């Protein structure tokens, strides 16, 4: 077993890979439930429409802070305790969001939901620790497919639940799921005691050193920041396009459109297997091309036509396929750099591309407001091209 893992770490079994994949999907979904509900939540709480974007932004900021301040503790603290402790933060925040009656309380809850959701990024390195080198890519890919399913399913599920009941129910249901999941994980997860004996401040300082002096980490983080910015741009602006005068789709139809992207999650296990065979470079190139081609496809047919809608659905699948695949390839690469700092590497990688995603959402909304889908898709197309040009210098 690798030198950073506790010597008694058990070998990962198929049921454990499945449990970790489902856990990642259920936990990460908490980040995305509020996105399609910004309107009804703002209305119910009396939040100024101009400030309604804070609901999503504060969740993302909480997640980003958790990635930088909590995830690295996976190299310092027994992992099962850390995962369960982080889940407690998220679960308390979900109860608080469900019962919130003022904008301030809901926004504080949204921030803490983001912090608590970083439990997934302690689970993924744990899966890598449990997997032998020969199948590590496959295991990480399978776990990441669960995470991508959670990201893609959260929005439509939240939309459907709200349509038949209320937005409060979304957060109550997730609270119950988190409590049950924590009970299962407390019994099922093995202990992993890291060998690092650093102080917390030294641990955080070492992240800066790792970011500056680990070229594979830096490259993979920048590649995925470009692709995830494209992904965020696409999913921020396509609902606006579909609800607009060209397509006139209802919220329920837009939720169904979002479900199409779930098919792209199949790329994660495929990418993991390709990485195990040593095909990371060609697979990375294909992933970047998929994201670029997805944006080009949306301009083939005239807007508003059935052909245009069909091509948008295919573009969503192709885009998600590229982004899911590249994410797994990146994690497979950085997890091979050393077990003793795997959690810190993962925290840096995730925080970097998550910032890319936040920028993509903001720029996408601005571009759509000023130049419609044409301008937004130009930005979306340019990002994977920038990543490809940088990739060519590897």
User: For residue 110, what are the CA distances in angstroms to 104, 107, 115, 178, 199?
Assistant: 10, 5, 9, 16, 30
Buried b (16+ CB within 10 A) or exposed e, 346-363: bbbbbbbbbbbbbbbbbb
With respect to residue 118, please indicate whether it lies within any of the assigned structural domains.
yes
Rounded Cα distance, 220 and 214, in Å = 10
Collapsing DSSP states into helix, strand and coil, what is residue 10? Answer: coil
Q: Which pLDDT score is estimated for 6?
A: 43
Q: Which pLDDT score is estimated for 156?
A: 86
Task: Give the contacts of 54 (CB within 8 A, at least 6 positions apart).
Answer: 47, 107, 110
Cβ proximity of 258 and 313 under 8 Å: no
User: 196 — phi, psi (to 5°)?
Assistant: -65, 140
Q: Within 10 A of 102 (CB to CB), how many other CB atoms are there?
A: 11
Q: Which residues of the chain have pLDDT under 70?
A: 1-10
Q: What is the CATH number of the domain that holds 109?
A: 1.20.1250.20
What is the total residue count of the chain? Answer: 394
With respect to residue 3, please indicate whether it lies within any of the assigned structural domains.
no
Burial class (CB within 10 angstroms; exposed 0-12, middle 13-18, buried 19+) of 223? buried
With respect to residue 345, please indicate whether it lies within any of the assigned structural domains.
yes
pLDDT in tens, 201-224: 999 999 999 999 999 999 999 999
Task: Give the contacts of 364 (CB within 8 A, at least 6 positions apart).
Answer: 232, 233, 234, 236, 237, 376, 379, 380
Task: Give the contacts of 66 (CB within 8 A, at least 6 positions apart).
Answer: 86, 114, 115, 116, 117, 118
Burial class (CB within 10 angstroms; exposed 0-12, middle 13-18, buried 19+) of 210? buried
Task: Give the contacts of 283 (CB within 8 A, at least 6 positions apart).
Answer: 271, 274, 275, 325, 329
- Domain of 297, in residue numbers: 14-391
Rounded Cα distance, 330 and 224, in Å = 8
Q: Which pLDDT score is estimated for 1?
A: 38
CA 70, 273, 233, 240 torsion-angle sign? negative
Q: Which pLDDT score is estimated for 3?
A: 42
Nearest to 27 by CA among 85, 103, 91: 91
First to last CA, the chain: 30
With respect to residue 5, please indicate whether it lies within any of the assigned structural domains.
no
Domains contained in the chain, number? 1
With respect to residue 379, please indicate whether it lies within any of the assigned structural domains.
yes
Provide the angle, in degrees to the nearest 10, between the axes of the packed helices 79-99 and 103-116.
160
Rounded Cα distance, 365 and 359, in Å = 10
Task: Give the contacts of 101 (CB within 8 A, at least 6 positions apart).
Answer: 45
Nearest to 25 by CA among 145, 161, 177: 145
Rounded Cα distance, 12 and 188, in Å = 12
Rounded Cα distance, 69 and 177, in Å = 25
With respect to residue 2, please indicate whether it lies within any of the assigned structural domains.
no
pLDDT in tens, 270-311: 999 999 999 999 999 999 999 999 999 999 998 889 999 999
Give me 365's structure tokens.
């909304």
Rounded Cα distance, 360 and 354, in Å = 10
With respect to residue 56, please indicate whether it lies within any of the assigned structural domains.
yes
With respect to residue 1, please indicate whether it lies within any of the assigned structural domains.
no
């Amino acid at each position: 077993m690798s030198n950073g893992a506790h010597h008694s770490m058990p070998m990962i079994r198929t049921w454990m890979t499945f449990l970790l994949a489902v856990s990642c999907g259920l936990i990460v979904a908490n980040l995305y439930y509020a996105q399609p509900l910004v309107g009804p939540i703002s209305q119910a709480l009396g939040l100024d429409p101009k400030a309604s974007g804070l609901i999503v932004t504060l969740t993302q900021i909480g997640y980003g802070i958790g990635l930088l301040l909590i995830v690295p503790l996976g190299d310092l603290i027994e992992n099962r305790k850390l995962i369960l402790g982080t889940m407690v933060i998220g679960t308390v925040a979900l109860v608080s969001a469900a019962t919130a009656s003022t904008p301030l309380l809901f926004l504080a809850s949204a921030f803490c939901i983001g912090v608590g959701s970083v439990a997934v990024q302690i689970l993924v390195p744990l899966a890598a620790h449990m997997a032998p080198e020969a199948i590590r890519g496959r295991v990480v890919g399978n776990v990441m497919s669960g995470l991508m399913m959670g990201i893609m399913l959260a929005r439509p599920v939240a939309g459907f639940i709200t349509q038949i009941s209320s937005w409060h129910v979304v957060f109550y249901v997730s609270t119950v799921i988190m409590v049950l999941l924590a009970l299962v994980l407390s019994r099922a997860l093995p202990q992993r005691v890291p060998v690092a004996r650093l102080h917390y401040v030294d641990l955080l300082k070492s992240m800066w050193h790792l970011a500056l002096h680990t070229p594979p980490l830096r490259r993979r983080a920048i590649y995925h920041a470009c692709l995830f910015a494209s992904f965020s741009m696409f999913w921020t602006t396509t609902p606006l396009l579909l609800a607009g005068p060209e397509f006139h789709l209802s919220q329920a139809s837009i939720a169904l459109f979002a479900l199409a992207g779930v098919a792209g999650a199949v790329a994660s296990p495929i990418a993991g297997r390709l990485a195990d065979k040593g095909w990371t470079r060609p697979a990375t190139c294909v992933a970047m091309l998929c994201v670029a081609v997805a944006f080009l496809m949306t301009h083939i047919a005239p807007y508003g036509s059935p052909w245009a809608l069909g091509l948008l659905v295919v573009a969503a699948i192709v885009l998600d396929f590229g982004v899911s695949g590249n994410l797994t390839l990146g994690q497979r690469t950085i997890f091979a750099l050393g077990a003793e700092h795997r959690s810190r590497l993962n925290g840096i990688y995730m925080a970097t591309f998550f910032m890319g995603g936040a920028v993509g959402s903001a720029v996408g909304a601005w571009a759509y407001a000023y130049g419609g889908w044409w301008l937004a898709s130009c930005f979306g197309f340019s990002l994977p091209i920038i990543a490809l040009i940088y990739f060519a210098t590897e």
